[in-house]
Amino acid sequence: MTILDKIQSCRAEEEKLRWEGTFREYLDLLKKHPHIAMPAHARIHEMIRSAGVEKDQYSFFSGELFGLDEAIKRLVEEYFHPAAKKLDVRKRILLLMGPVGGGKSTIVSMLKRGLEQFTRTDAGAVYAIKHCQMAEDPLHLIPRELRDEFFDEYGIRIEGSLSPLNSFRLEHEFGGRIEDVPVERIFFSEDRRRGIGTFSPSDPKSQDIADLTGSIDFSTIAEFGSESDPRAYRFDGELNIANRGLMEFQEMLKCDEKFLWHLLSLTQEGNFKAGRFALISADEMIIAHTNETEYRSFIADKKNEALHSRMIVMPVPYNLKVSEEEKIYEKMVHESEAADVHFAPHTFRTAAMFTILTRLKESSRSNIDLVMKMKLYDGAAVEGLTGLDAAELRKEHLDEGMDGIDPRYVMNRISAAIIKKGTNSINALDVLRSLKDGLDSHPSISQEIRAKYLQFISEARKQYDETAKKEVQRAFVYSYEESARAMMDNYLDNVEAYCNKTKLNDPLTGEEMNPDERLMRSIEEQIGISENAKKSFREEMLIRISAYARKGKKFDYREHDRLREAIQKKLFSDLKDVVKITTSSVAPDEQQLKKMNEVTARLIDECGYNSVSANELLRYVGGLLNR
């Protein structure tokens, strides 16, 4: 299909979704599908919930937000869920508070875009009085004295009053015949100003409250004779058009007081004042976002106490997981014009390690440094520590993640690295150099913080150095998996004989021989197993092998983190001299050159490098090994 065919198909699909009828027909529809009368908060919660929940993670936000699972879970379960149940939480403004670049705007954007799509589904269908700028709920037509009886019949509680314009239309156009009032299905759209509003304050001296609540149409005063005639009023303020949906209040805490007071009545009573009319009912969620500095300044002002009490403040800290931070950079690069640039493996991870280190706070536990904490938060194995330690560490600093380097700075420096290097291949060292160079011009970094950040760059480089050496050493191992398995089988045979106090048969002579203590210790020492601890470690291995055997499964060394690490380190240590000589040779001989070509090919085919980054890696590791 061409793009024009797809446009035509989309238009046809939307036409199929359209529905028009009278209020009488709407009530018939309501009996079959009661969910179409959902209030705004319930609709948003249903939109999030219907996308699915996997392992306590809300799928609605996946693919766009990374490392914010805890913040999202709290947002949904402490705000949206109780608000959907019509608990008092829905009478509060939702204020997302966190550092710049932390994902607050993305959350709001996803909710708005999600609502646009959700109202095009059966589960999210919205119906309104036809030709109403405020997309008013048709149930407002039901007189107050009949609403209890309506609840008894339909099980739906009606809130809110009919708007001034629809009251006028009901009386003058339809002669009070509620059943004849036309109703239509509507689709939310921020661009078309239907169901989604966005208010952004400007100069307090020039901005008009009409931007929020609508305004008088002076061209119609002569026709209708009075400013209090609802036909002479434009119900097109952001609070009007966001009815039934969501309104984003940008930079709310910077806004002039006269704009904020309108929110007091709207949040608590579900209505607001506009023109010379009675209070106008509105069913919408107000969401705003700010940083911690602005928020602290706002609550320090006693004049804001009334509004502050009508807020639910949800912290949105920076992500604190290296693997999730990587995904943020990958997403940002994919969406940019740098998508064709080759980023060598571990480039984003190395940058992410630096970034996460700037966001962490020192633990009061002397045996845990920031690098260990970073690894623990990311789910990596840290000797002597478990996931329970990670949970305890998070409780030490409840404001952890509220400051540090933001992803935008990292992307700016990645862009600078691309321009400076002038090639389409960027590696971790290029990015670390660029991050370092950019600290001098960062507007909010003091000399003290700069010195600390330079240490974090050095630490990130140390972590990369270890990874780079392992990558090259592994590439040098011919048939790595076969070599590792052979070494593992040999080790486990010796462990089994040692634990069972039996002997092994020499594969060449067939003679019986004692377990090879030297071989076992050479592997165990790689991961710090002491002489005193070797017996319990070997017995643990034997128990694990036996457990697998009972289940009819073969033990795989890769499923045991410490044994895998020991095998790898042993293989790499045996090859270190070969790697050093080959990578650092200025004039390699034919054999060395062949080996280099094999290693380069393996780095490209199996590890994700290109020819430029593979050769850069080999030269760098050669230099490291020669130090």
Q: For 311-327, how does the pLDDT look when each residue is reduced to its tens digit (9 = 90+)?
A: 899 999 999 999 999 99
343: tokens are 């980023």
210: tokens are 């009409």
Q: Which residue has the higher pLDDT, 67 or 565?
A: 67
Amino acid at 423: T
Convert 489-542 into a string of H (helix), E (strand) and C (coil): HHHHHHHHHHHHCCCEECCCCCCEECCCHHHHHHHHHHHCCCCCCHHHHHHHHH
**pLDDT at residue 403 greater than cutoff 70:** yes
Q: How confident is the model at residue 225 (pLDDT cuts 50, 70, 90)?
A: confident
Q: The sheet that has 196-199: what strands, in order across it? A: 196-199, 246-249, 285-290, 93-97, 311-315
Q: Which residue has the higher pLDDT, 205 or 2?
A: 2
> C-alpha dihedral over 218, 222, 228, 229, to 10 degrees?
-110
What pLDDT is stored for residue 511 in this prediction?
83
498: tokens are 């040692």
Sign of CA dihedral 456, 458, 459, 461: positive
150: tokens are 């309506």
Cα–Cα dist 361/399, whole Å: 9
pLDDT tens for each residue of 521-560: 988 998 888 999 999 999 988 888 888 888 888 887 777 8
Mean pLDDT of 88-101: 91
Residues 6+ apart with CB under 8 A from 367: 384
Sign of CA dihedral 408, 414, 419, 424: negative
Amino acid at 37: A
Sequence ranges of the domains in the chain = 17-315, 322-463, 485-567
Q: Which residue has the higher pLDDT, 572 or 14?
A: 14
pLDDT tens for each residue of 96-128: 999 988 999 999 999 999 999 999 999 999 999
Mapping DSSP to helix (H, G, I), strand (E, B) and coil, where does residue 412 land?
helix
Cα–Cα dist 421/431, whole Å: 10
Residue spans of beta strands (DSSP E) within 316-424 = 342-343
Helix axes 561-584, 611-626, angle to 10 degrees: 90
Taking the model in full, what pTM does it have? 0.83
Residue spans of beta strands (DSSP E) within 118-206 = 126-129, 182-186, 196-199
CATH of domain 17-315: 3.40.50.300
What pLDDT is stored for residue 478 in this prediction?
63
What pLDDT is stored for residue 585 in this prediction?
63
What pLDDT is stored for residue 206 in this prediction?
64
pLDDT tens for each residue of 447-496: 899 999 999 999 999 999 999 988 888 887 765 677 778 888 888 889 98
Q: How confident is the model at residue 180 (pLDDT cuts 50, 70, 90)?
A: very high
Q: How confident is the model at residue 586 (pLDDT cuts 50, 70, 90)?
A: low
